């Protein structure tokens, strides 16, 4: 009898639950995100910019308060570690291997927000939320029979949703791609 090891890559967007981070930190991610958004908005208006640069622009130019940046980086680290732990714990029973390839905090990316947008501060606060993460996973399944790539991808999407939706405040399952099948 041969076994088929199917490898897949998946990308998910999550927001680590406030209660999970409250146990680890005094600072609240939503509040830090709102303070960061207000500081960025003030800096953009002071510089008369027509767009919102990435957070690194403000860090490199010493525009934002150091304590706010330290709290932000600490919360991103805590959220990343918590997300890794939750993912490994929840997905290990379903998949034969679970690897967290990369974790990216959304707040380090260029915001896709325009200065004339309605609810500007709310949109910026959501973007700068330290608990919002994009995670790339590599998963594998051991099966008796080889499976079609589409069926594997669909199954993986459903399992990611089913096993992770309760553990995060927000979960979006993005792309899922079957990489290879190894018969043994």
What confidence tier does 1 reach under pLDDT thresholds 50, 70, 90?
low
Q: Across the chain, which distance is largest between two alpha carbons, in Å?
A: 69
Q: What is the pLDDT of residues 36-93, one digit of tens each?
A: 999 999 998 898 888 888 899 888 888 888 999 999 999 999 999 999 999 999 999 9
pLDDT confidence of residue 19: 85
What is the distance between the alpha carbons of residues 83 and 127, in angstroms, rounded to a whole number? 18
pLDDT confidence of residue 147: 74
What is the distance between the alpha carbons of residues 23 and 133, in angstroms, rounded to a whole number? 19
Question: What is the average pLDDT across 128-133?
Answer: 95
Please list the residues that pair with 98 across neighbouring strands. 139
Q: What is residue 11's three-state secondary structure?
A: strand
CB 180 within 8 A of CB 139: no
Contacts of 179 (CB under 8 A, 6+ apart): 7, 8, 9
Tally of structural domains, the chain: 1
pLDDT confidence of residue 184: 54
What is the distance between the alpha carbons of residues 91 and 160, in angstroms, rounded to a whole number? 8
96-99: which pairs have CB atoms within 8 A and are 24 or more residues apart? Answer: 96/5, 96/140, 96/141, 96/142, 97/138, 97/139, 97/140, 98/137, 98/138, 98/139, 99/137, 99/138, 99/139
CA-angle at 74, arms to 70 and 76, nearest 5°: 120
Question: What is the average pLDDT across 166-181?
Answer: 91
What confidence tier does 167 reach under pLDDT thresholds 50, 70, 90?
very high
pLDDT confidence of residue 182: 64
What is the distance between the alpha carbons of residues 81 and 74, in angstroms, rounded to a whole number? 11
27: left (phi over 0), alpha (psi -120 to 50) or beta: beta
Structural domain boundaries enclosing 147: 4-183
Which region among 67-76, 96-105, 142-151 has the lowest average model confidence (pLDDT)?
142-151
> Is the per-residue pLDDT at 183 higher than 60?
no
What confidence tier does 30 reach under pLDDT thresholds 50, 70, 90?
confident
pLDDT confidence of residue 145: 75
């Amino acid at each position: 009898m041969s076994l088929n090891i199917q490898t897949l890559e998946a990308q998910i967007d999550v927001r680590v639950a406030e209660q999970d981070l409250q146990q680890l930190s005094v600072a609240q991610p939503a509040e830090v995100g709102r303070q960061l958004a207000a500081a960025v908005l003030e800096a953009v208006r002071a510089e008369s910019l027509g767009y919102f640069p990435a957070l690194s622009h403000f860090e490199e130019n010493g525009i934002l308060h150091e304590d706010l940046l330290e709290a932000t980086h600490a919360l991103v680290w805590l959220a990343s570690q918590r997300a890794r732990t939750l993912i490994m714990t929840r997905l290990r029973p379903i998949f034969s291997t679970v690897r967290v390839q990369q974790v990216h905090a959304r707040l380090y990316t260029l915001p896709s927000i325009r200065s004339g947008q309605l609810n500007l501060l709310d949109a910026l606060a959501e973007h700068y939320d330290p608990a919002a993460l994009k995670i790339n996973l590599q998963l594998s399944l051991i099966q008796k029979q080889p499976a079609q790539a589409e069926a594997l991808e669909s199954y993986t999407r459903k399992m990611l949703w089913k096993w992770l939706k309760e553990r995060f405040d927000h979960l979006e399952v993005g792309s899922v791609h079957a990489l290879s099948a190894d018969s043994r």
